Amino acid sequence: MDIEKKWYEKYFVDPMNRFAKFKMVKSISGGIASGVNILLIGSILSIISIVMSFIPGLKGTAFALKFAAMKELVFGIVGVFFAASIGASNAKYNKIDQQAVGFFAVLVYFIFMRPQFLIDEKDIVYFHAEFSRFGSNSIFVSILSGLWAGEVTNFFKKRNWVMKSEGLPEIVKTWFDYLIAGTAITLSAWAFTDLLNIDLHTIFSTILVPVIGIFSSFWGTLILAASGPLLFYFGIHPLSVIYPVFAVYIAAAAHNADMLARGLEPTVANGFLINNYGTLLMINLGGAGSTLGLNFALLFSKSKIHKNLGKLALLPSILNINETLIFGLPIIFNPAFFIPYLITPIINQAITYFVMFFGLVKIPSSLALSMHIPSFINAYILSEDYRAVILVILLIFLDALIWVPFMKTHAKKLAVEEYNQAGKT
Amino acid sequence: MYNILLVCQGGMSSSFIVKKIIEAFSKNREEIQVISKAAMEIVDYIALVNCVLVAPNVLYAMEDIKETCQEHGITPTIIPMEVYGRMDGDAIRNLIIHSH
């Protein structure tokens, strides 16, 4: 037997799996994955506001404005939730109390926000900070807050530097146990940002401008589009390694949403970024590698195996879950499908880029970033442009056409195998 | 009674398999409880179950999963790729019965 590792295992699969195993990567991935759930509420609010926009006479009324302000608020404070969820996810991997660390992460996040307290003539105290410091454009501060809280707590816990609190009720005990760590976290975060005068929000937004520029560029995103299927083909779940990169695209989406809220038209000329997380989700047609077109094609295949799998996978595919196709067809490690699986998302990405570049479809500028809403609905939620829905449907159709010849070849192979097996028995 | 925790990357694809497993068991008039979660959530749920099934999309996290499971005296069972992909409830039922 050939036990020597193949070159791609040695230079691609193994390093990627090692990367995915890093506690930091796992914490960030898990934290963002559960943090985006709060954006799901935002998605529902977006749907409601879209429906409201079709009701005549409602636009500009006090009710509509109040609703819009509430939506803005929900989207605007997700940075806090990301901090808490990344902290909790880190705690999970360190096997320490998730709630305690989640709370500490929120504390750190607020300290890093560097609010001022303003007092008016009536002695009322006001909390004063840029609203953007609460939001998802501050996602890297959220990540740092979460990891800070998690790792410092872990440091104290593992060395058993805790308050000894035997005899106390369990719930009080947890808090006593974490008291020293929590105090250390608070003081260290405060010393770092206030005493050393380091404003993380300014630093990150300065660093992020060129980074977002590279990632959201045409080529940068094409590489990302290719990496999803490439990873999955070699058996690595893309979401296990890509989330830290998604953080950059989430920041890009926040940048767009911010400009849209200021009343700008979502065009390239106005500085909107085509390739933000919203656009990636919009053309995440059926899951990593855009396999929804393939799923529809399978329904019309001559092979019975294909047809059955197509029926089985249809509902998950519409919800952008494609494990059934990846493992069932299978696509993974299957040379017959490597080419279409790799090129389909690249082609989708490139077409979408140019369509948006020339202003034929509005650039998605929403924070309603949900992965598991059917793409033809998601397209409208994200861009509020019916042409985006048409684009998505055309892309699904095109994807199906790309897959058909490869599927036919595979169907023939399956038929031959079936014939041979029937001959044996 | 089997009390099963099925984990995958995000707990999404596995939720479709849960139904199939329950169907396969109820066809044989057997009782079963299955929950599906993300692999990272194992620590939160392992105390509630007596059997852990692992989807083929989280094999990279297998060392972690094994470690957490062993602390609770459970040996996790990996669902083979093609069984998972075809959502083959009966095959998973066999897998559960034969590995426990």
CA A403 distance to own-chain centroid: 27
Residues A46-74: b if buried by 16+ CB within 10 A, e if exposed: beebeeeeeeeeeeeeeebeebeeebbeb
Please report whether residue A184 resides in a domain.
yes
**SS3 state of residue B27:** helix
Could you tell me which residues are beta bridge partners of residue B37?
Answer: B7
The answer to whether the Cβ–Cβ distance between B86 and A328 falls below 8 Å is: yes
Q: Does A349 touch chain B (CB under 8 A)?
A: no
Name the residue with tokens 């989406």: A253
Token pair for A89: 């996810």
Q: Does A330 touch chain B (CB under 8 A)?
A: yes
The answer to whether A314 and B87 are in contact (CB under 8 A) is no
Q: CA-to-CA distance for A71 and A57, rounded, in angstroms? A: 20
Per the rule left: phi > 0, alpha: psi between -120 and 50, beta: everything else, A290 is: left
Question: How close is the nearest chain B Cα to the Cα of A135, in Å?
Answer: 24
Task: List Cβ neighbours of A100 (8 Å cut-off, separation of 6 or more).
Answer: A91, A153, A174, A175, A178, A182
Q: Does A374 touch chain B (CB under 8 A)?
A: no
Query: By C-alpha distance, which of B17, B62, B48, B15 is closest to A240?
Result: B62
**SS3 state of residue A94:** helix
Residues 145 through 204 of chain A touching chain B, CB cutoff 8 Å: none
- Does one domain contain both A182 and A316? no
Q: How many CB atoms lie within 10 A of CB A424?
A: 6
CA A200 to each of CA A195, A215, A424: distance values in angstroms, whole numbers, following the listed order: 13, 21, 69
**SS3 state of residue A175:** helix
- Does one domain contain both A134 and A276? no
pLDDT attached to residue A381: 93
Which CATH class, in words, describes the domain spanning B2-98?
A: alpha beta
The answer to whether the Cβ–Cβ distance between A239 and B9 falls below 8 Å is: yes
Please tell me what DSSP assigns to residue A372.
S
Question: How close is the nearest chain A Cα to the Cα of B30, in Å?
Answer: 24
- Boundary of a domain, candidates A170, A199, A228: A199
**Which chain A residues are Cβ-neighbours of B87 within 8 angstroms?**
312, 324, 328
Q: What is the pLDDT of residues A378-402, one digit of tens each?
A: 999 999 999 999 999 999 999 999 9
Token pair for A267: 């065009």
Name the residue with tokens 């454009």: A137
Please report whether residue A4 resides in a domain.
no
Q: CA-to-CA distance for A98 and A164, rounded, in angstroms? A: 20
Q: Does B71 touch chain A (CB under 8 A)?
A: no
Question: How close is the nearest chain B Cα to the Cα of A13, in Å?
Answer: 10
Please report whether residue A87 resides in a domain.
yes
Peptide bond into A330 cis (omega under 30): yes
Token pair for A411: 């169907």
The answer to whether the Cβ–Cβ distance between A328 and B44 falls below 8 Å is: no
- Boundary of a domain, candidates A199, A234, A259: A199
**Which chain A residues are Cβ-neighbours of B10 within 8 angstroms?**
33, 239
**Which chain B residues are Cβ-neighbours of A235 within 8 angstroms?**
56, 59
State residue A118 phi and psi, 5-degree precision: -105, 140
Q: How far apart are the first and last CA of chain A?
A: 28
Q: Which amino acid is at B8?
A: C
Residues 16 through 55 of chain B touching chain A, CB cutoff 8 Å: 16, 38, 40-41, 43-44, 55
Q: Which amino acid is at A358?
A: F
The answer to whether the Cβ–Cβ distance between B40 and A329 falls below 8 Å is: no
pLDDT attached to residue A380: 94
Question: How close is the nearest chain B Cα to the Cα of A381, in Å?
Answer: 22
- Does one domain contain both A194 and A282? no
Q: Does A99 touch chain B (CB under 8 A)?
A: no
Average pLDDT on B40-57 reads 92
Q: Where are the domains of chain B?
A: 2-98
Query: By C-alpha distance, which of A135, A129, A131 is closest to A114?
Result: A129
The stretches in chain A having pLDDT less than 70 are 1-5, 163-166, 171, 424-425
User: CA triplet A313, A318, A319: central angle to 5 degrees?
Assistant: 100
Could you tell me which residues are beta bridge partners of residue B8?
Answer: B38
- Does one domain contain both A178 and A220? no
pLDDT attached to residue A314: 95
Name the residue with tokens 């501050």: A138
Among A241, A323, A326, A417, which would you mutate to test the B interface (most chain B Cβ atoms within 10 Å of its Cβ)? A323
pLDDT attached to residue A103: 95
**Which chain B residues are Cβ-neighbours of A20 within 8 angstroms?**
60-61
Q: Does A373 touch chain B (CB under 8 A)?
A: no
Burial class (CB in 10 A: 0-12, 13-18, 19+), A210: exposed
The answer to whether the Cβ–Cβ distance between B40 and A324 falls below 8 Å is: no
The answer to whether A113 and A54 are in contact (CB under 8 A) is no
The answer to whether the Cβ–Cβ distance between B82 and A330 falls below 8 Å is: yes
Q: What is the pLDDT of residues A313-356, one digit of tens each?
A: 999 999 999 999 999 999 998 999 999 999 999 999 999 999 99
State residue A255 phi and psi, 5-degree precision: -60, -45
Name the residue with tokens 């975060």: A189
Please report whether residue A107 resides in a domain.
yes
ipTM over 0.85: yes
- Boundary of a domain, candidates A167, A199, A231: A199
Q: Does A284 touch chain B (CB under 8 A)?
A: no
Among A237, A329, A372, which would you mutate to test the B interface (most chain B Cβ atoms within 10 Å of its Cβ)? A237
**Which chain A residues are Cβ-neighbours of B55 within 8 angstroms?**
323
Strand order in the sheet with B51-54: B32-38, B2-8, B51-54, B77-78
- Does one domain contain both A132 and A251? no
Q: Does B12 touch chain A (CB under 8 A)?
A: yes
Q: DSSP letters along chain B, please?
A: -EEEEEEESSSSHHHHHHHHHHHHHHHTT--EEEEEEEGGGHHHHGGG-SEEEE-GGGGGGHHHHHHHHHHTT---EEPPHHHHHTT-HHHHHHHHHHT-
- Does one domain contain both A295 and A404? yes
Task: List Cβ neighbours of B60 (8 Å cut-off, separation of 6 or more).
Answer: A17, A20, A21, A236, A237, A240
Q: Does A144 touch chain B (CB under 8 A)?
A: no
- Does one domain contain both A275 and A405? yes
Q: How many CB atoms lie within 10 A of CB B47?
A: 8
Could you tell me which residues are beta bridge partners of residue B36?
Answer: B6
The answer to whether B39 and B58 are in contact (CB under 8 A) is yes
Look at chain A and report how many structural domains it folds into: 2
Token pair for B36: 């599906």
**SS3 state of residue B100:** coil
pLDDT attached to residue A1: 40
Helices A23-35 and A139-158: crossing angle in degrees, nearest 10, is 130
- Does one domain contain both A225 and A189? no
Token pair for A231: 């990873």
- Does one domain contain both A168 and A238? no
Average pLDDT on B40-49 reads 90
Domain containing residue A306: 216-424
Query: By C-alpha distance, which of A137, A162, A143, A36 is closest to A90?
Result: A143
* Least CB–CB distance from A321: residue in B13, B61, B82: B13
Task: List Cβ neighbours of A319 (8 Å cut-off, separation of 6 or more).
Answer: A372, A373, A374, B12
Global pTM value: 0.87
